[in-house]
Amino acid sequence: MSDYHEMWASLGLDLKTHDAVLEIVGKGYQDVFLSQKNRPEGMKYFDFVMSEVHGLRIKEIMDAKAEGRKVIGTFCVFVPEELVLAVNGVCVGLCAGAELGFEEAEKYLPRNTCSLIKSAFGFKLAKVCPYIESSDLIVGENTCDGKKKAYESYKDIVGNLYVMDLPQMKSEAGKALLKAEYVKFAQKLEEISGKKITVESLKKGIEIVNNKRAAMSRLAKLRFADPTPISGLDALLANQVYFYDNPERFTASVNAICDELEKRIQDNIGVAPKGSPRILISGCPMAVPNWKIPFIIENSNAIIVGEEMCTGERGTRNLVKDQASSVEELINNIVDRYFEIDCAIFTPNQNRLEHIKQMVKEYKADGVLHYGLQFCQPYQMESKVVEKELEKAGIPVLLIETDYSQEDAGQIKTRVEAFIERIS
Q: How far is the CB of 418 from other proteins (least distance, A)?
A: 4
In the β-sheet with 367-373, what is the strand arrangement from edge to edge?
A: 303-308, 278-283, 367-373, 397-402
* Choice between 328 and 391, CB closer to other proteins: 391
The reply on whether position 408 binds other proteins by CB under 8 A is yes
The reply on whether position 418 binds other proteins by CB under 8 A is yes
* Choice between 99 and 262, CB closer to other proteins: 99
The reply on whether position 328 binds other proteins by CB under 8 A is no
Residues contacting other proteins: total by CB under 8 A? 12
The reply on whether position 35 binds other proteins by CB under 8 A is no
The reply on whether position 422 binds other proteins by CB under 8 A is yes
* Choice between 187 and 411, CB closer to other proteins: 411
Q: How far is the CB of 34 from other proteins (least distance, A)?
A: 21
Q: How far is the CB of 94 from other proteins (least distance, A)?
A: 28
Q: How far is the CB of 397 from other proteins (least distance, A)?
A: 9
Rounded distance between C-alpha atoms, residue 253 and residue 238, angstroms: 10
Integer-rounded Cα Rg, in Å, for the chain is: 21
> Please, which of residues 183-242 interact with other proteins by CB under 8 A?
none
> Please, which of residues 297-326 interact with other proteins by CB under 8 A?
none
Q: How far is the CB of 417 from other proteins (least distance, A)?
A: 4
Stretch that binds other proteins, among 88-96, 142-150, 276-284, 409-417 (CB under 8 A): 409-417
* Choice between 228 and 282, CB closer to other proteins: 282
Residue 350 CB coordination number (10 Å): 13
Stretch that binds other proteins, among 115-123, 272-280, 332-340, 410-418 (CB under 8 A): 410-418
* Choice between 30 and 414, CB closer to other proteins: 414
Q: How far is the CB of 360 from other proteins (least distance, A)?
A: 18
* Choice between 162 and 419, CB closer to other proteins: 419
The reply on whether position 31 binds other proteins by CB under 8 A is no
The reply on whether position 388 binds other proteins by CB under 8 A is no
The reply on whether position 156 binds other proteins by CB under 8 A is no
The contact set with other proteins (CB under 8 A) reads: 391, 401, 407-408, 410-411, 414-415, 417-418, 421-422
